[in-house]
Amino acid sequence: MERVCFVLKVRRERLAEYRERHTAVWPRMLAALSAAGWRDYSLFLRDDGLLVGYLVTGDFAAARAAMAATEVNARWQAEMAPFFEAPAGAGPDDAMVPLTEVFHLD
């Protein structure tokens, strides 16, 4: 299994709404993530907008591709894009660059 951690930046003025949106993630989105192999998926948000994501999956590239192929992910990403500081034209999924793991206590 592959452990994946990534960081994104949420706009400070959108933090409260971002948190609120994640109290009720669409059931179809949750089902799509599970079907695509996203396990133990967590998001952590700091008050300055730093968002840390963590998940476990068999193959991150395949899990991302499986999500990219779903209609529900396209809708979710379109709705979430305005919440993030990202290069013009880049969606949140595009900015999910995994960090290099340097230690794991097994």
Does 104 participate in catalysis according to the annotation? no
Rounded to an integer, what distance in angstroms lies between the CA atom of residue 51 and that of residue 18? Answer: 11
Rounded to an integer, what distance in angstroms lies between the CA atom of residue 36 and that of residue 57? Answer: 9
Helices (H) and strands (E) in the chain, counts: 4, 3
Residue 94's CB is within 10 A of a number of other CB atoms, namely: 14
Kindly name the residue from 3, 12, 19, 22 that is annotated as catalytic: 22
Q: What angle do CA 40, 74, 17 make, to 5 degrees?
A: 70
Q: Determine contact, residues 16/57, Cβ cutoff 8 Å.
A: no
| Positions marked active-site | 22
